[in-house]
Amino acid sequence: MAQAARQKTVRRAVHGVLLLYTPLRLSTNDALQKAKWLLRAEKAGHTGTLDPLATGLLPLCFGAATKFSQVSLDADKAYRATLRLGQRTTTGDLEGERVDERPVRFDRDCLDAALARFTGVIDQLPPMHSALKKDGKALYEYARAGQTVERQPRRVTVHAIDIVDWHDAVLVIDVRCSKGTYIRTLAEDLGEALGCGAHLSALRRSASGPLTLDGAVTLDELESLPEPHRLARLQPVDVLLADWPRLALPADEAGKFLSGLRRRVALPDAAAVRVYGPGAGAFLGSAHIEAGELIADRLLSPAEVQSLSSPSRDPAPEPLPAAA
């Protein structure tokens, strides 16, 4: 009977962003596929992988929101990191074997000075235990085979490091940084600057761009909800662009914008704006303003705009296979 019920499950057009709180050791793709199945969604995508050894925020995009997933991928991130001072490991986190142990001997002034060294624009050497690829192969695959390959430093920006707690050999910090920042590398480098070594013992992502853990839901919580309540946990498509300037167009101009035509606007240049119909109208897409012209970048289709304006509309679905 359960199998028969699953066969009746059908896909449908679902649009929005799910703020998922992920637990330890859940891969980004597994989280995406389970959420997609629970929402019976036709189309879904993530906004960049989260290390399985990290917990916290994983924004998932559905339907029209997938067009703007790159915005979240490129956005600044915020993390709470717990460092175990005085110990280095083979992987830079608690999963690796301990390779070095040194006494922890520094004061608050030394700690503040070390944190200042890693604030701002810095160069990081990507860790071997990472998903970064070399010659089509992830670095962690080389590491698991006992190989170390040459890597090039990557320039990232650490906007701020704030001390949350520090006692004995445990240091908890909040980090705001650009995309591509390796927190385990930051932990290791900070440990070396303090003269004692360190590894990352816990990591939680707390924000991605304007998105935070406020309103985030776990997969277990999502599964326990009746289906209409699951859909209600979705954030609007434009939440990914919430910190961009907003531009509303009159009805006739909105239609032309959706067709991709450039429009003259008496506005200063802007690298990115979110565009809407008149008043509190529907979200239409993203654009930029250059030399007095509004130039579309990513557009919703008329059908998507209609679907977002009429959330109760349920288009003809297709069969959905059972969850693995």
- Active-site residues: which are they? 51
Backbone torsion region of residue 143, taken as left when φ is above 0, otherwise alpha when ψ lies between -120 and 50, otherwise beta: alpha
Rounded Cα distance between 111 and 36, Å, is: 44
Residue keyed to tokens 């998105």: 211
222 and 230 in contact (C-beta within 8 Å)? yes
Q: What is the Cβ-side half-sphere exposure of residue 283, based on CA atoms within 13 angstroms?
A: 25
**How many residues does the structure list for the chain?**
324
158 neighbors 174 (Cβ within 8 angstroms): no
Burial class (CB in 10 A: 0-12, 13-18, 19+), 81: buried
User: What tokens does 287 get?
Assistant: 């654009």
